[in-house]
Every structure is written in structure tokens, then in C-alpha cells.
Amino acid sequence: MLSKKELAQKYGISAGTLNNLLNNRYYELLTPLGYEKQQKLLSPCIVRKFIEIYGEPLSEIDFNQTM
């Protein structure tokens, strides 16, 4: 399980921005996986789906491979 705060930090975005993405932009895609707007912890399947939709966080990319 990963908290929303931890996920926001991985992406370098505010918790408010992440909440907007989760609760508005991607809500219909995440609800079939069990996502609820008030939850604080995200299950691995919700985190995987978010990464699939939004892309890998920059902190996870090996910049040596991109150059």
C-alpha cells in the first residue's frame, strides 16, 4: 500500500494536484479497481493503473539510459 502523499512525492507534485487527478480526471478508470475518493492508502493495483495512465515518475527513470 502507498499513501497518496507518498505517490505525490514520487511524482514531484502537490497532494492537491494528485487528488485532482485521482478524484476527477482518472476517477472513472480507477473506481472499477476499488478506488474511493476519501481513501488515504492506495492499493498496488490502483498505483499500477495510475502509473500506466500518467506515466512513470521522473524519480524512477534512469537518466543514463535516455542520453
Q: What digits encode the pLDDT tens for the residues 17-36?
A: 999 999 999 999 999 999 99
Mean pLDDT is lowest, of 22-31, 44-53, 57-66, for 57-66
- The residue type found at 39 is Q
Beta-carbon contacts of 44 under 8 Å, excluding residues fewer than 6 positions away, are 1, 2
The total domain count for the chain is: 1
Mean pLDDT is lowest, of 22-26, 37-41, 54-58, for 54-58
Copy the grid coordinates of residue 13.
507534485
Residue 13 within a domain: yes
Residue 64 within a domain: no
Residue 35 within a domain: yes
Residue 52 within a domain: yes
Residue 65 within a domain: no
Residue 66 within a domain: no
Beta-carbon contacts of 59 under 8 Å, excluding residues fewer than 6 positions away, are 10, 11, 12
Residue 42 within a domain: yes
Residue 54 within a domain: yes
What per-residue confidence (pLDDT) applies to 24?
97
- The residue type found at 61 is I
Q: Which domain holds residue 24?
A: 2-58
